[in-house]
Amino acid sequence: MTHRPIEPRHRANMNAMATAIDQTLNGASKPKRFAFVMLVAEFGQIDNGRVNYISNGSREDMIAMMKEFIARAEGRYVETGGAA
């Protein structure tokens, strides 16, 4: 998978929003406690269109987080171990 940078027309707004979200969730905490991902796409352009991505975590960790979320949303995720 190739990484494409945020489209220039969205870069400033997405960086500003990401900074505000990270500050709201984590403040000055080190290490950070909460991770987030933001995806921005134009309505009508989502299928076969461009999706812009930004997060406050490593790309690999955020991809794993999104995969787990999608599996849960689709009902494919099965809890393992631990008592409910």
pLDDT tens for each residue of 23-37: 999 999 999 999 999
Which single residue is written with the structure tokens 């290490």? 31
Average pLDDT over residues 61-83: 85
- With a cut of 60, say whether residue 77 has pLDDT above it: yes
The pLDDT of residue 5 is above 80:
yes
Q: Indicate the residue type of 1.
A: M
CB of 55 within 8 A of CB of 40? no
Query: Model's pTM, two decimal places?
Result: 0.76
Domain count, the chain: 1
Which pLDDT value is given to residue 47? 75
Q: Look at residue 82 in the predicted model and tell me its pLDDT.
A: 59
Residue 81 pLDDT exceeds 90: no
The answer to whether residue 80 is domain-embedded is no
Query: Is 79 within a domain?
Result: no
- What range defines the domain where residue 41 resides? 8-73
Cβ neighbours of 10 (radius 10 Å)? 16
Domain assignment present for residue 84? The answer is no
